[in-house]
Amino acid sequence: VSQQLKATTSEPNEARRKDGLLTTGDMARLSRNTLRTVRFYEESGLLSPVQRTEGGHRLFPAAELSKLLLVTDLRAAGFSLDEIREMLEVKLHSVSGGEAARDVICRIDEQLDSMTARVELLERLVSELRSTRTLLRGCVECKDNENFPHACADCTVMAKPSNLPNAVSVLWGLPR
């Protein structure tokens, strides 16, 4: 792994500067992102404004770390950077708290549905892969290299339930 990817070699959880400002490396390490990602978000206008040292090094106030942590979470939840940018700018485009609140609530509602759907899909897949694993455990002791792989469908070692998971059917070449 390149040095330019990692935030630092060590793994302290604190920023080291005494003035409370955070370097790009601090931001990356504390949010578990890469240096490139922090710079990319800043270039994209998600983290702004930044101060720079005389030598051109970025310095972020602590509030930008909170923002970065939210951005990181929202990315993991499936929001695009454009959607995140719009959420962060809602208060700038609103004339009252009510307008801003309704806007944010609307955006959150839109995503909550797809997020719970993704949780359900993932849970369905986890259980399918687990039962696939359980069924394949019946094959780990198999040393047959004459009937493998073409005659696995005729083998009676694996207990084949009526609701054979599609993963087993496809991976093992078995009919459902």
- Contact set with a copy of itself (CB under 8 A): 63, 66-67, 69-70, 73-74, 76-77, 87-88, 90-92, 94-98, 100-102, 104-105, 108-109, 111-112, 115-116, 118-119, 121-123, 125-126, 128-130, 132-133, 136-145, 148-149, 152, 155, 166-167, 169-173, 176
Tell me how crowded residue 15 is: count the other CB atoms within 10 A of its CB: 19
Separation of alpha carbons 165 and 71, rounded Å: 37
> Binds 129, which of DNA, a copy of itself, none (CB < 5 to 8 A, cut-off by type)?
a copy of itself
16 or 137, CB closer to a copy of itself? 137
Distance, in Å, from the CA atom of 80 to the CA atom of 76, rounded to the nearest integer, reads 10
Partner whose footprint covers residue 143, from a copy of itself, DNA, none (CB < 5 to 8 Å by kind): a copy of itself
Report the alpha-carbon distance of residue 114 to residue 78 in Å, rounded.
9
Nearest to residue 25, comparing CAs of 48, 12, 51, 7? Answer: 7
Contact 155/131 with Cβ under 8 angstroms? no
Strand ranges (E), 12-152: 51-52, 58-59
**Smaller CB separation from DNA, 1 or 63:** 1
- 78: its two tokens: 């499936």
Minimum distance of a copy of itself from residue 100's CB (angstroms): 7
Identity of the residue, 6 or 137, whose beta carbon is nearer to a copy of itself in the bound complex = 137
Binding site for DNA (CB under 7 A): 1-5, 7-10, 17, 23-26, 28, 34-37, 39-41, 53-58, 75, 80-82
